[in-house]
Amino acid sequence: MKEKIEYYTITPNLKQLYGKKVFKDTEFTEQTEDGRVKQEFKDLTLTTTIETKQEQGQYSIEEYSKVSVKVPEGTVLIWSELEGFIIPQASVCTLEELKKTIGEIEEIYSGEEIKDDTKGNEGKDI
C-alpha cells in the first residue's frame, strides 16, 4: 500500500510576550509590581537585585541576591511578572519575523515537485 508522504512542521507557541531587544546604548531601570525584583540595564549588563523579607512564626527571614549578566548586543529580553526581564531559554521572534520565515518555508516547499512521494518506500507498508 502506497500512502502519500507529507511535510509536517512542529506547531510553534504563538503566545505573545512583552520584551525588548537591547543594544549598546540601551538603558533602563525596572521592578516587578511587588517590588521584590529590581533591575538595571546599562552597558549591555543586566543587573538583577532580589530582596525578600518574611516572617515564619518566630523567625524573621531576609534574602538578598544580586546577579549581573553581560549580554551580547541584539539579545532579546522577555518580561516575566515574577522575575522581571529574563533571557528566554527558547528562540523568540517578532510576528513580522515569523511571517517572513513562514513565507520562506512556503517558497522552499512550493517549488518542489513531488510526483512519487513514496520514493524509497516501494513494497513497504507505511
pLDDT surpassing 80 at residue 119 = no
Q: Give the Cα separation of 60 and 1 in Å (integer).
A: 72
pLDDT digits (tens, 9 = 90+) for 40-75: 999 999 999 999 999 999 999 999 999 999 999 999
What pTM was computed for the model? 0.70
pLDDT surpassing 90 at residue 8 = no
Q: Which residues of 68-81 are buried (b: 16+ CB within 10 A; e: fewer)?
A: eeeeeeebbbbeee
- 41, 52, 50, 49: which is closest to 19 by C-alpha? 41
The predicted structure's pLDDT at residue 126: 47
pLDDT digits (tens, 9 = 90+) for 68-106: 999 999 999 999 999 999 999 988 988 899 899 889 888
